[in-house]
Structure 1
């Protein structure tokens, strides 16, 4: 059973939710974005995003505008309080994690250290 969490644990912006919904519709998948943290990257940890077909039993989930963001409990410890956003700029567009747990990050925006 997926656990719902308060907005303070992790959040998904409306911009990110809209982008996930568009990608999911184009790929014929449910609008479920999985965020996980893996070892590696230039700063020690890196974010991984992907569409999920179904949440795992122990996932933590939040919902914004009908789109669910799911995070496994181990990754949640490294992103607690974070906000997942989708940004578009002259340099391109990407999902971005504003992570208060991260002590530092790198220029690519997908790697961090604690």
Structure 2
């Protein structure tokens, strides 16, 4: 059995800040075909579906659909605040390579 993705405390804290005035809409992390390396991440706010995996901490939720789940096995969903900008990032052990934009990868 593959390990589910993990969400860092920092990512949940940032989600709580964003959701302070948004009614606690979950953050959806999905994998789509396309992008410059074959797959790309789709990170957006979205309502959960019945078959989603829900990762929850302190009232904040991150949801992953069952199709994306195998691509995110063992991945770490984090939040980074760097010179290039503040954003949610995914450290994915399944990705064999990724591109400079950080949203596209191959397996």
> Could you state the TM-score of these two structures normalised by the residue count of structure 2?
0.90
1:50 aligns with 2:20: no
**Take 2:45 and 2:29, find their aligned partners in 1: how far apart are those partners?**
9
**In 2 relative to 1, CA 29–50 (structure 1 residues): closer, same or farther, beyond 3 Å?**
farther
Aligned residue in 1 for 2:18:
23
- d(CA) in 2 for partners of 1:11 and 1:88? 19
Please provide the CA RMSD for this pair.
Answer: 1.5
Aligned length: 106
Aligned residue in 2 for 1:104: 97
Gap regions ≥5 residues in structure 1: 1-5
Q: Which runs of 4+ in 1 moved over 3 A?
A: none
SS state of the match for residue 67, structure 2?
A: helix
C-alpha separation between the residues in 2 aligned to 1:112 and 1:65?
31
Q: Post-superposition shift, 1:29?
A: 2.8
In structure 2, which of residues 30, 35, 40 is the aligned counterpart of residue 41 of structure 1?
A: 35
3-state SS of 2:68 partner: helix
Instruction: Name structure 2 gaps, 5 residues minimum.
Output: none
Q: Distance in 2 between matches of 1:23 and 1:57?
A: 24
| C-alpha distance in structure 1 between counterparts of 2:19 and 2:38, whole Å | 30
